[in-house]
Structure 1
């Protein structure tokens, strides 16, 4: 055994502890609520500047509670449910930026879950560059 091996095992042990703590925290957050957007991605052409799409937001909360949805989209800055049986919301958006939706508890404004609608431009077809110069003889 060389002197470096115990340091490697010590480093691996620290990494295992960090990842296990991260996954334990993620499990507790996902146990509170499930929140999804369909679709989660909007593709626009490089020439187009606006993404026009209908989004369905779905949520499921472990305990019966009224929820609100807040976002950075100006037309839907805050929406709140009127019934604990409401589990989805259909909206139409027109944007050129990503939209972040956050599900919160209506009574105490505690964040339950979040989802991101990502707006991506399609890449233009690239013109293939010649690897040799036009004046090359070979």
Structure 2
């Protein structure tokens, strides 16, 4: 096998490797999980966020799904109908929560969304007693 034949074979092999993830990714572009709102703003760092959220999803093909979260206060929820496309929840948390949408039958991850908790309080900044340009 000559060097040119080997380079063509490598190029073909690389192009196949590069094409297959993109084609799989193109199929998943139709599957989304949207969280509204995405951010909860609290007045201080140790104050809990109390908010009503809505999860809305679209799927590439109709199938039953489940929503999981990384917070034990919000257990696994599964749809009973392929026509269900939204889930409303009341949230009470001090930390960020990530929601993951999986297929009900195979538990394959389809999409995810994250609720971010942010404090509106300004962090305490320690002031220097002397100016940075002072010689003494």
Find the aligned partners of 2:54 and 2:69 in 1 and give their Cα distance.
14
Q: Distance in 1 between matches of 2:86 and 2:108?
A: 19
For 1:118, the equivalent position in structure 2 comes to 116
Give ranges in structure 2 of 5+ residues lacking alignment: 1-17
Counterpart of 2:39 in structure 1 is 41
Q: TM-score, normalised by structure 2?
A: 0.70
Whether the aligned pair in 2 keeps the contact of 1:32 and 1:112 (CA below 8 Å) is no
Provide the rounded CA distance (Å) in 2 between the counterparts of 1:59 and 1:82: 15
| Segments ≥4 residues shifted beyond 4 Å | 125-133
Larger deviation, residues 75-84 vs 43-52 = 43-52
Q: Match for 2:81 among 58, 78, 83?
A: 83
CA 1:121–1:30 in 2, change beyond 3 Å: closer, same or farther? farther
**How large is the Cα RMSD of the aligned pairs?**
2.8
The structural deviation recorded for 1:97 is: 0.4
Structure 1 gaps, min length 5: 1-19
State the aligned residue count.
114
Contact (CA 8 Å) 1:37, 1:58: kept in 2 or not?
yes
Out of 107, 110, 113, the position equivalent to 1:109 is 107
